[in-house]
Amino acid sequence: MEVLNVDTCIFCEIITGRLPGSFVYRDQTCAAFMDLQPVNPGHLLVIPNQHSASLAEMDLDTGAHIFKVAQELAAAVRKSGLRCEGLNLFLADGELAGQEVFHVHLHVLPRFGGDGFGFRFGPGYPVVREREVLDRDAGLIRAVLKNQ
């Protein structure tokens, strides 16, 4: 795993100071800064200091730490005076999931009524799955967990 990828990764450039960032938090494992194109004011990104393109590349302890920091930041955003009536923690893993910068980042996204942001369901949703199908799919995932 690469520690830093400063020639191709904008987040590594921010971490190293080659590009500016408006940081709210830094420690040995991760950093948090303002999203340059915020969905709403106060939109933060929490990223590992060590370059990881995807969840699969990032170790579990780092992931746990990033979530813990995001939870603390969410509480801070709510108390900051910025408009925040709700909040999303959002992580896109892979291009089809909406990931645009391939350095893992957890969004801390303040929300308020009428902000215009939202998730869109596909056509045909909701589909209530039969228990048999849910149990089969759960079995597929359990089988992988057993072998990890």
User: Where do contacts with Zn ion occur on this chain (CB under 5 A)?
Assistant: 5, 9, 11-12, 51, 103
Q: By C-alpha distance, which of 33, 41, 57, 40 is closest to 106?
A: 33
CB of 27 to Zn ion, least distance (A): 17
Which residue number places its CB atom closest to Zn ion?
A: 9
DSSP 9: -
CB of 103 to Zn ion, least distance (A): 3
CB of 9 to Zn ion, least distance (A): 3
Neighbouring residues of 89: CB distance < 8 A, sequence distance ≥ 6? 67, 70, 71, 74, 106, 107, 108, 109
CB contact at 8 A, 68 and 60: no
In the residue annotation, 105 being an active-site residue is answered as yes
Q: Which is nearer to Zn ion, 5 or 88 (CB)?
A: 5
Which residues are part of the catalytic machinery? Answer: 105
